[in-house]
Amino acid sequence: MGGLKLQSGTKVMEEEPEHHNCTSNRGALACTVNSEIGAVLAVMRRNVRWGGRYVSGADQLEHSLIQSFKALRKAIFSWEQPWKTINPIVYLQPFLDIIISDETGAPITGVALSSIYKIMSLDVLDVDTVNVGDAMHLVVDAVTSCRFEVTDPASEEVVLMKILQVLLACMKSKVAIMLSNQHVCTIVNTCFRVVHQARAKGELLQRIARHTMHELIRCIFSQLPNMDGRENLLSNGSLCEQEFDGVCKDDNSGSKQLDNGNNSAEYGGQAPSLGLSAYPNSVGNMTSVNSVGSVNDKERSDLLLMTKPYGIPCMVEIFHFLCSLLNIIEHIESGSRSNTIAYDEDVPLFALGLINSAIELGGSSISQHPKLLALIQDELFRNLMQFGLSMSPLILSMVCSIVLNLYHHLRTELKLQFEAFFSCLILRLAQSKFGALYQQQEVAMEALVDFCRQKTFMVEMYANLDCDITCSNVFEDLANLLSKSAFPVNSPLSAMHILALDGLIAVIQGMAESLGNGSPILEQALVDIEEYTPFWTVKCENPTEPNRWIPFVRRRKYIKRRLMTGVDHFNRDLKKGLEFLQGAHLLPDKLDPRSVACFFRYTTGLDKNLIGDFLGNHDEFCIQVLHEFAGTFDFQNLSLDTALRLFLETFRLPGESQKIQRVLEAFSERYYEQSPHILANKDAALLLSYSIILLNTDRHNAQVKKKMTEEDFIRNNRHINGGSDLPRVFLSELYHSVCKNEIRTIPEQSIDFPEMTPSHWVDLMRKSEKTSPYIVCNSRSFLDHDMFTIMSGPTIAALSVVLDHAEDEDVFQTCIDGFLAVAKISACLHLDDVLDDLVVSLCKFTTLLNPSSIEDSVLAYGDDTKAKMATFAIFTIANSYGNYIRSGWKNILDCILSLRKLGLLPSFITSDVTNDSELSSEPDHGKPSASQVPSVSAPQRSISLMGRFSQFLSLDTEEPKSQPPEEHLQVDEHTLHTIQKCHIDSIFTESTFLHADSLLELARALVWAAGRAQKGNTSPEDEETAVFCLELLITITLNNRDRILLLWQTVFEYICSIVESTVMPCALVEKAVFGLLRICQRLLPYKENLADELLRSLRLVLKLDARVADAYCENIAHEVMCLVKANATHIRSLMGWRTITSLLSITARHPDASEAGFEALMFIMSDGVHLSPANYVLCVDAARQFAESRVGEADRSLCSLDLMAGSIACLAQWSRENKEAVGDEGATKVSQDIQEMWLRLVQGLKKVCLDQREEIRNHALLLLQRCLMGVDGLPLSPALWLQCFDLVIFTMLDDLLEISQSLSPKDYRNMEGTLVLAMRLLSKLFLQLMSDLSQLTAFNKLWLGVLSCMETYLQAKFRGKKSEKIQELVPELLKNTLLVMRTNGVLEQRSALGGDSLWEVTCLHVNNMAPSLITDVFPDQASDHSEQKQSIVEGKSEPNVEGVRA
């Protein structure tokens, strides 16, 4: 039945309780009632009227009121049954008789009311009490019909307060559920009358009456959530007249309620029913005018419903009554009162407070009851829109509070109402350009900020309104309003600016929180429209499922944006606009009337003049569009003038009569289709429409002097309704409606913040029936990307301006919080450009970008709270959201460099986190690494903050000459603490966690900053800055070794530019060179695929200017040594080893660097551990250069030679391994390589054999002999040996001989001994190889070469004379050689005739050297030899010995 649910069923009789408790409770209640009886009788006896005897006829009896009390007193102590079984009417009736009696005065009535209140408050009655319902009805009837004589104003107010007290107690009692709908309405009506009467009474009564009214409303509507869903309302939607005019007409209570006996004086003879009868639109005076069917049946049904326990019906009527109080202003404005502002502050404000209480307690349960919901959707919201424009800030504030409550509880049912509220009210009032007072602007802004603090408000506005094609962009407008209102343009910062900023930050922080909760961010699919489909009235299939509604609203927003672009084209050129929309697939390729009509009808911002001209055109297509356009309107149950207003507000009515006729014909046809009740045909609608437009022009055109009267209007419209007249009342209503409200035939073009007219409201209510369902959003960040893209720019600008103008620390913190929230959102949504803009804006407030003098800047910075907060925010953003910073790194680096310039930067800012972990495992070689080598860094000036503060803290230093003031030291300490909290070093040491794009931009920013300082190059500070930036660049490079490929090109190109452009030693090139070496040293073990690239980069060192290279050669050698020792196993390519050995070779001739270089070479070549075919030749060549170098002691050269000679073991090992290898081609290639390496080895030793130092060249000769003769296991071919003789042995002998003959003995001491060793080497090697080489065709040539060498040495003169040792040695060696050759059968005379060329040549050379040697060695062939010799002398035989040696 729509009533309250009883907590327990009503019982006729209670079960008998225990006797003792029953007797005790019964006695106590009897005493209570007895005491109240005594109190009433005592007051009555004070009055003479009640003190004597009452005369009635012939007998003198007591008055019936006193008799009833005495009878009750006798009975109460004699009742034996439980109190609940006693009819309450028995002990309540005497008191109620006093209350309704018009013979009693105010004191007596007041005491009786107090007694009733006491009984009600003691819970004597409960739902199990017998006949409790009738008793409650009787109490309400009596109290609401209370009558009394007024003796003084004070006692009158007391009685009125007691009436309120009793009625409120009735509603709060346990048995209030027994009250009927009618009685609850009566209680509310009575209380409101007291409220109205109290306006002429004392302040206390006014406050109590209003408070009681509020409590009643709260008590009633707090039960709404407990109501069942059924609504048994009255048939006509309102209660009958009796509700608020009294319980029944028979008692005439409607005219005498609360009668105080002084009517004529107080109210001028009018009836004292000051409740609803005073207001035409009140519930009590509403009657059914639209009822259909049997009135008697409906009246009986209504009366029956009113007698049911109270529930939804009375709540609907009470709420309707409260809403009707807001309509009072309309009637007063149309009356005689001219000043309504004072009245506007009273009744509407009171009514709004009651409505707010009802909504607060009813909550979302209201949506379950259509009648209540309909009242809120239409009447209440319409009145709220009206009162929101009131000049009273109090009323506006209450209106905003109600709307906020409605948003919380009923927003799903009030979509378009909210759009109207914000577009037509808040956005108008919050801007001064619309003429609102400052107080109105402030209240409107406060309300908007309250809405912004609701987590889902903005996203719901965006999803439901901004993404709805037919709605305005409320979210965008509100965001722009907040950002613009926060700008202090040409004025100091005010509370309004801060308030707007609070709202803006509330929205931003709401987004940040939702993103911070780990809410999923749905990927934004690219929206594209491939073909036209009707979309104007499409609704979301499932508005509760995010996977459905998010793509839907994004698509709608895309369409809306494209439509707005089309609107711009359309307003410039109608034809081109339609063509654009066709190209965007927002209109069909072949235009149809329906689609164009929908475009005109539902698209905002169109030029209404163009629409009117198009619709009025005589073209057939335009006419079809016109009729389709009219068909989009819903004119059902609308008056003709209202329908015409709606129609004409969508376009401008053309000026030509034919166009007007076509437009009105389409309108009339549509109106007649939907509202044919009074009009006979569409022609009647057309004629009447013409007449209304003429009336409108006549009444509202200032140029028309003689105005049309009502009679004129009625007369003009005779016989137009199918030959008959229209009802006079109907025409009269039209006349007055048009006269009161002009029909605008020239509608407003602006779509920004339109005024809410009655016709607009009607249109809104019609649209709300068809609009898309409201999408409820939770705290998940589904649309934050779309929204933030819109408001990020204005938000950053507003934050920047406010922070710039602010002077209060709380405002600073608010702005900083806003910046951090924007940064968080930008990072979460991957909006790099937004984050860069934010960084640029925020860096300006650090005051670090353009510091003046160091001392002044440090002190100023320490005193500047804003600057320190901005600095902390900048580095918080850099550390927290650095992944998404791009160009902003440049600004951050500017701040870092400024801090460094001021001496505020921590000294460990460029520390490498990998230093300790990696270098600790390396052995200590007694030399500092490049990272430990002192280099130029930022100087800590004594005048800087660091210098002053460190002086202050140091106890061991000498007392400074001038101690800084104490306050300066405190500022310095706080500044240091702020900088430490920034964790600037983490930006670089934790750069391993940066995304690739951000890391690359950071590296480029460092190069940019260093290059900028390098270009200046006008002061040491510039160079220091460049060095500092390079240090940071190297730090992030080393910390990101896993991503070195990303950074390498940038880092290498910058270091290369430094090396190539530097011609003098400086800190920058030092840092570049050693940084490069350090990078290679660290990364080689981890990046084998990049090893060649890293090692190739070291060739930059070879390009250093000679002066630069000389300055840093020792440290370079040390770094190369460390690199080799740490990474020798990782260097595998020929190119890599060529770079390393080139660097080592350079150090061979540098006095300071040679030691480290040779140590590295020894590490590679010792025991052949790190020798390989790739580096063998290079290392041998490097060792040769160390052997030839005269830098250092001779032992180093000897050791170098030993390294060279010892390397032959590696060749032997590789040869053995090669023999075991599979594959002929591969083995052959390796064998050839080994031969080539051996040849390069002996060639290297041959070169050292020419050394100026005796010890070195002799040692080289011995080692050469070892390498030539100890070649077992090496695959040396005979051809290679022949090549070796030509390139090594013969060449060396020639060179040694030339040196001995041409150079000073002082330079080359004891060359004679060297020559002896060389000749012995020649002989030994030849004899060792003779058996293998004798079968070769080239053996003769080889042998002749040996003979030639011996002959040359034998005949050579040194310093004008021949060497005795050589003269002794050569014949001896020759003889020994000949003997071996004879023994082996290599040399013999094979034929006496013709002879042998080898023999002949041998004989010839031997005779030249030792004529008797042939005879001694070959005695058997002595005679033949003599003949041969004679023939040669005679010219018979002359062997060709030219070219014996190559």
| pLDDT tens for each residue of 1281-1333 | 999 999 999 999 999 888 888 877 778 888 888 999 999 998 999 888 888 88
Residue 445 pLDDT greater than 90, yes or no: yes
Look at residues 203, 276, 293, 264 and name the one whose alpha carbon lies nearest to residue 240: 276
Question: What does the pLDDT average to over 559-577?
Answer: 92
Residue holding tokens 């309509």?
Answer: 327
Position 1117, amino acid: A
**Helices and strands in the chain: count of H runs, count of E runs:** 69, 4
The pLDDT of residue 1274 is 85
Categorize the per-residue pLDDT at 187 as very low, low, confident or very high, splitting at 50, 70 and 90: very high
pLDDT at 741: 87
Secondary structure of 469-513 in HEC code, one letter for each residue: CCCCCHHHHHHHHHHHHCCCCCCCCCHHHHHHHHHHHHHHHHHHH
> Does position 888 have pLDDT exceeding 80, yes or no?
yes
The Cα-based distances of 788 to 507, 511, 828, 834, 918 in angstroms read: 10, 8, 11, 10, 45
CA 163 to chain CA mean position, Å: 61
In whole numbers, what is the pLDDT of the chain averaged over residues?
81
Q: Which residue has the higher pLDDT, 807 or 855?
A: 807
Residue type, 805: H
C-alpha–C-alpha distance, residues 263 and 1071, integer Å: 105
State how far the Cα of 43 lies from the Cα of 20, in Å rounded to an integer: 35
Q: What is the dihedral of CA 550, 556, 560, 561, to 10 degrees?
A: 50
Average pLDDT over residues 345-355: 88
Q: Which of 842, 848, 845 lies closest to 897 in space, CA to CA? A: 848
**Residues 1132, 1137, 1141, CA angle at the centre, nearest 5°?**
155
pLDDT at 660 over 50: yes
**Tokens 């409590």 map to which residue?**
215
> Is residue 297's pLDDT more than 80?
no
pLDDT band at 13 (very low <50, low <70, confident <90, very high): very low
- For residues 73 and 34, give the distance between their C-alpha atoms in angstroms, rounded to a whole number: 6
41 vs 293 pLDDT, higher one: 41
Distance CA 1058, CA 882 (A): 28
Q: What is the pLDDT of residues 14-40, one digit of tens each?
A: 344 444 444 556 778 888 889 988 888
Backbone conformation region of residue 938, classed left if phi is above 0, alpha if psi is from -120 to 50, else beta: beta
| Euclidean distance between CA atoms 523 and 537, whole angstroms | 26
| Overall average pLDDT of the 662-689 stretch | 89
pLDDT at residue 842 in the model: 93
pLDDT score for 261: 38
> Are the C-beta atoms of residues 674 and 700 closer than 8 Å to each other?
no
Nearest Cα neighbor of 484 from 207, 175, 793 is 793
pLDDT at 1070 over 60: yes
Distances (CA, A) of 1318 to 1265, 1350, 1364, 1373: 9, 11, 16, 12
For 1332, the 3-state DSSP assignment is helix
Rg for the chain (alpha carbons), in Å?
57
Q: What's the confidence (pLDDT) of residue 129? A: 87
C-alpha distance from residue 441 to each of 234, 499, 669, 670 (Å):
43, 11, 45, 43
- The residues, any chain, with a CB within 8 Å of residue 22's CB and separated by 6 or more, are 16, 82
Calpha distance 923→944 (Å, rounded) = 39
Q: Is the pLDDT reported for residue 942 higher than 70?
A: no
Q: What is the DSSP string of 883-903?
A: GG-STHHHHHHHHHHHHHHTT
- pLDDT (tens digit per residue) in 1115-1173: 999 999 999 988 888 888 888 889 999 988 988 888 888 899 999 999 999 888 889 99
**Percent above pLDDT 90 for the chain:** 34
Place 910 in a pLDDT band, splitting at 50, 70 and 90: low
- Residue 435: φ, ψ to 5°: 85, 10
**351: pLDDT confidence band, cut at 50, 70 and 90?**
very high
CA 298 to chain centre: 62
- Two structure tokens written together for 963: 């101690």
Query: Distance of alpha carbon 1190 from its chain centroid, rounded?
Result: 68
Catalytic site residue 922?
Answer: no
Angle at 1330 between CA 1329 and CA 1336, to 5 degrees: 100
pLDDT tens sequence across 1019-1053: 788 888 899 999 999 999 999 988 888 999 999 99
**Is residue 391 a contact partner of residue 341, using CB atoms and an 8 Å limit?**
yes
- Report helix angle 1194-1206 to 1208-1220, nearest 10: 10
* Higher-scoring residue by pLDDT: 913, 627: 627
Look at the block and give the residue holding tokens 């609401």.
144
Split at pLDDT 50, 70, 90, the class of 416 is very high
pLDDT tens figures, 239-267: 433 343 433 333 333 333 444 433 322 32
Stretch 138-149: mean pLDDT:
89
| Cα separation, 1289 vs 1317, whole angstroms | 12
Using a pLDDT cut of 70, give the percent of the chain over it: 82
pLDDT at 177 over 60: yes
Q: What is the pLDDT of residues 840-877, one digit of tens each?
A: 999 999 887 765 556 667 788 888 889 999 999 999 99
- Predicted pLDDT of residue 753: 63
Mean of the pLDDT values across residues 454-475?
Answer: 91
Question: Looking up tokens 């209670």, which residue turns up?
Answer: 14
Residue 975 has pLDDT above 50, yes or no: yes
Q: pLDDT at position 1029, please?
A: 92
φ, ψ of residue 906 to 5 degrees: the values are -60, 145
**pTM listed for this prediction:** 0.78
Which is catalytic among the residues 330, 333, 656, 1088? 656
Predicted local distance difference test score (pLDDT) of residue 1437: 40
623: Cβ contacts below 8 Å, ≥ 6 apart: 617, 662
Residue range 299-325, pLDDT digits in tens: 666 667 777 888 899 999 999 999 988
Nearest residue to 1076 via CA among 1111, 1029, 1114, 1123: 1123
pLDDT at 29: 84
Q: Residue 518 — very low, low, confident or very high, per pLDDT cuts 50/70/90?
A: low
